[in-house]
Amino acid sequence: MIGVTGVPFDEFSSFMRGPAKAPQFIRQAFHSNSANYFTESRIDLKNSPQWQDAGDMKLPQGKAAIREIEREMDQLLARYDKMLALGGDHSVSYPLVKSTSKKFGKLTILHLDAHGDLYDEFDGNKYSHACPFARIMEEGLASRLVQVGIRTMTQHQHEQVQRFGVEVIEMKDWRQEMEFEFEGPVYISLDMDAVDPAFAPGISHHEPGGFTSREIISLIQKVKGNIVGADLVELNPDRDQGGITAMLAAKLFKELLELLLKK
């Protein structure tokens, strides 16, 4: 059984609040009468007994939320085989990955994003949404981190890439024919700003030059491996226009859920 949970937390966003509201908007889009419950390979998620919405986490404020996310995910992973989390800003990925690694061991992480999120600290906060993958790699939670779609590389983050042995495919180097196949347990972290803001305006950081909707959907569909966990983060409903980005997030939610449902 796959569990789905919302992680309504955005206190460690560096630029703009709003992603804490995202889980409810993704669910609304998923249940919208304007679409249906089928994945593109015709898996009927509405009538599937293989997954369950476990509701939203109840989180305190500040850094205590990071510990609580880990604790609640530990409890959920004791109940469910795998988990898909709906953020929230990207700071939530650190405790989610930390919990997932306890169950499955060191992970291969596929990280889709405009940003590397590898800063040692950002604005004095080591738990900022700009830092989760630095914490993950410091603690040895992943044996391999593959980042795709990056288009904001700084000198510091380049040094962090070298320090941690991160495999980065910057957006300028990405090609449509690229596919990803991994060994061992795999975790996917999908930041909505991996998508170009022309297709996903409901994000805090409008970084031009990203994936089209079709490209990101196809990339997800082609991932091969034992997917044991995933998160979908950084939808900002306050910046969305006509629910365009929420509908894309719901589409990606369905495709990620299908990956998790595969044995």
Pairing mode of beta strands 51-56, 181-191: unpaired
How do residues 48-74 score in pLDDT, each as one tens digit?
Answer: 999 999 999 999 999 999 999 999 999
Please state the pTM of the whole predicted model. 0.96
Q: List pLDDT tens digits, range 87-98.
A: 999 999 999 999
> Which residue is associated with the tokens 């061992």?
184
Predicted confidence band of residue 263 (pLDDT cuts 50, 70, 90): low
- Per residue in 232-242, pLDDT (tens digit) is 999 999 999 99
Fold of 2-261: Arginase; Chain A (3.40.800)
